[in-house]
Structure 1
């Protein structure tokens, strides 16, 4: 029975990845795609990851927040791609939809995505540092006795074989990592519920639109 469940999960994951790659291929055919097109593809990638994380919630219980935008009282804001709360912990997740080979170290300011034939290599901000900034901001918002948060960076389709960090995952390793911590957790059944109530208060009182978040970035940086 367990074997059948594992096979079904792998098959569903495979179908989702195939659909995602088809969409990506259509976008890759247009080398001159503008920032809007690139942004829309990023949204597709985040939705794919969100769907996979939702399967964790269905199977093991928990709570999932996607595109979690919030602003503090000083006008500084953050956008977290995914916050997953299970008995295994609070997972703060950054999704990167790069295609190519990813090069970088944990303490580098920038990483590089090497594409085919070394054309159009892309430099981007270190997502580990970026995600830690999100975690620090969220912890400040929680204020009193914030829980430990587990940072994860997920590259659904990129080659991350050169990245030496337990924080960075492909989709399969991310799901296995979360499931393992959740299954083997000794936390009480109320852990996820209590944390969710605190996160929900931030969403209810401090959430903002993505448009406003982008304006905040422009104003402050």
Structure 2
């Protein structure tokens, strides 16, 4: 069942009004979908963060816009102030619960690899998996047990168990986890240091409003 998130219509897009919305604890947002007219809204910042934290980044939310019928949405994108750790803007995508969609799902490794106990180093080159499924069947996360991994062993997408509710889109030979000898890690770090480019000084990034 989708979690309800209340939203207010946002008709005045003036910068001063947008600033007031943020100061009042709300996030200026847009909701749109395939063959759907986009709408400008605002949602409570705390409620949005709580929903994503509790339900996951791919949570289905029933967006309750004042004066309109609720619509099922997912958080598609967001902008954040890196200094104040505040949400600046959010994009919601209206989903069709009967149609499959492609999403990124967090990848978690579980357990302590035997190879790590023996002196090797566990590496995780991939932290998200591409998954295709209907919205209600999107897993919150994919968890992989690495306890049996020995030094030199590798787990790839092909090793993941198949699920009837969703399919993996990453190529089967994509590495998920591997345990390498400690001397391999040292050589890699040294090569990275030698190839590293000098850091740019005085280059400032600006967040999109």
Q: TM-score, normalised by structure 1?
A: 0.26
More strand by share: 2
Q: Which has the higher contact order (CA 8 A, sep 6+)?
A: 1
More helix by share: 1
Q: TM-score, normalised by structure 2?
A: 0.27
Rg comparison, structure with higher value: 2
